[in-house]
Amino acid sequence: MVMGMGCGPRFGDDQTSDVVLNLKGVGGGEDGEGAPEVVSTLFVHSKALRRSEFFDARLSERWSSAAEAGCSGSSNSGKSGPGAGVVELTLDKCKDPQTYVRCIQLLYVPDRVKHTCFVDVQDALNILEVAAELLFHDCVAACMRYLESVPWTPGQESSIRACVSNLHLLPSEDLQARLCSPESVPDVKPVDIMQGVLGELLTLVTNGATSKAREITEKVLLGNVQPATSTAFATVNEVALFKELQGNLEILKVQLRKFANFFSWNGHQVSVACSALRWLLDELFTLQIADEAVRMFSEEKELAQLMVTRIYQNPFTETLFFILVRMLQALQKGEVLSPRSVRLTLLTTWLPVVAKLGNDDENFGHDEIQRSLEDGLGAVVETLPMVDQELIFRIWIGACLKCRKAFPDLSEAFESWCSKLRQAHRESDLERVADLMERGGSSCSEVLSSN
């Protein structure tokens, strides 16, 4: 390949060449050991080579007699070999001699090196490594312009990062920005960028976007909690999801206030908010961060009151039962470990609502939903201390048993609680008997009869 600089010297022209450049491999022999051999001899010109600071230094008079690791030079005037005045240089440890040849050819390119000189990303990386070694700054800049402008696979991005880091190069401003180096965006952090983008995606989805938008958002959420990802991105998930959850609850309450007071209300907004709440709750459980959602819902006193203010054809009833069933089942299975106070508040807030809707609304839910609610309520009640269970069962007796349907049926949990009361009383009697007999007091029959 012969290249020239306009009317200047041409690469490989041995008639006008004033430098003979020998390229040696890493080592001799197939195993890479022993003395390295010359693998290529190039006839080149000092005018072109001086575009490289490395070669410019080697060709300067002040370096002519100095020995440098990896490169030796000599003048061959009056000797066999190259002609008079021709300098012979040797480059050692050329891992890929062909890439060295291509990079030296680029020294002959007039003006600046163009992107058309590179075949693909890997080719540009190979040349970048040699250009950096030879301090061929125009070529380094061209490599970075090319790399910044073309698409990357994940593997290629990793290779680019490694190459820039290993060579201790300062990337161009645009390449640095694309690699998201902290120095490139001093006022914006990757976590902040993710927070903004995820917030937009969630708003899009919760406003009724297509299934494709949901799919993309779900992938982002899962990607933020992968083991190799910083925990800061998991926090971004949590903050963004709960912000949307709270926002949709507020939208719902605005419409339910209108519905409860027989004002004009927006059925579409209620439908969209209900769909969003279901999806958000599913995502919170999938990401195992639903504990806070259970707490939030347990404290929704206003929402609970709105649900029983106007019962007939309440647009939120179905979604409410879906949410309650999902939360109660999670508590029952140990998916969510909520504190005693949260479990108690959840039941005291929503048991009266479930009872009111279940007993007074003729269009209330399906049998499967009713059974799921009853099973979940009963199981969560039994996770509470005896004294807390008493409060729940008093609510249940007052709100449910006086109604014809007597829904929800918590009789199994109630019978278990009564049995525990009797057992506790017997155990208390036995402790008293043992204590008195030990002190030589009344007989066992006297203690029991007095009780």
Give whole-number Cα distances, 63 to 47, 79, 82, 151, in Å: 17, 21, 20, 42
* DSSP letter assigned to residue 116: G
What phi-psi label fits residue 19: left (phi over 0), alpha (psi between -120 and 50 degrees) or beta? beta
Q: How many CA atoms lie within 13 Å of 365's alpha carbon, on the beta-carbon side?
A: 26
- The predicted pLDDT at position 263 comes to 78
Q: Tell me the average pLDDT across 38-44.
A: 87
Question: What element of type H or E holds 365?
Answer: none
pLDDT at 440 over 50: yes
| Percentage of residues of the chain with pLDDT beyond 70 | 81
pLDDT at 138 over 60: yes
pLDDT band at 101 (very low <50, low <70, confident <90, very high): very high
Q: Which residues of 161-182 are buried (b: 16+ CB within 10 A; e: fewer)?
A: eebbeeeebebbeebbebbeee
pLDDT at 361 over 50: yes
- The predicted pLDDT at position 32 comes to 52
The 10s digit of each residue's pLDDT in 22-40 is 998 876 555 556 667 878 8
Give whole-number Cα distances, 95 to 105, 243, 444, in Å: 17, 55, 98
pLDDT at 443 over 70: no
Q: Tell me the average pLDDT across 380-390.
A: 94
pLDDT at 79 over 50: no
* DSSP structure string for 404-428: SS--S--HHHHHHHHHHHHHHHHHH
pLDDT band at 61 (very low <50, low <70, confident <90, very high): low
Most confident stretch, 6-15, 103-112, 181-190, 343-352: 343-352
Provide the CA 256 distance to its chain's centre, in angstroms. Answer: 36
Using a 10 angstrom Cβ sphere, with 0-12 exposed, 13-18 middle and 19 or more buried, the burial of residue 354 is buried
3 state SS of 88: strand
What is the assigned CATH class of domain 19-26+36-59+83-179? alpha beta
pLDDT at 429 over 70: no
pLDDT at 387 over 70: yes
pLDDT band at 444 (very low <50, low <70, confident <90, very high): very low
pTM above 0.85, yes or no: no
pLDDT at 360 over 80: no
Q: Tell me the average pLDDT across 372-393.
A: 94
More confident residue, 282 or 365: 282
Lowest mean pLDDT among 79-88, 224-233, 273-282, 409-418: 79-88
Lowest mean pLDDT among 102-116, 121-135, 273-287, 381-395: 102-116
pLDDT band at 437 (very low <50, low <70, confident <90, very high): low
pLDDT band at 281 (very low <50, low <70, confident <90, very high): very high
More confident residue, 80 or 415: 415
The 10s digit of each residue's pLDDT in 289-316 is 999 999 999 999 999 998 888 767 778 8
Whether 290 contacts 336, CB under 8 Å = yes
| Mean pLDDT over the full length of the chain | 83
pLDDT at 129 over 90: yes
pLDDT band at 2 (very low <50, low <70, confident <90, very high): very low
pLDDT at 9 over 70: yes
- The predicted pLDDT at position 362 comes to 61
Sheet with 87-91: strands ordered across: 38-44, 19-24, 87-91, 71-75
More confident residue, 277 or 73: 277
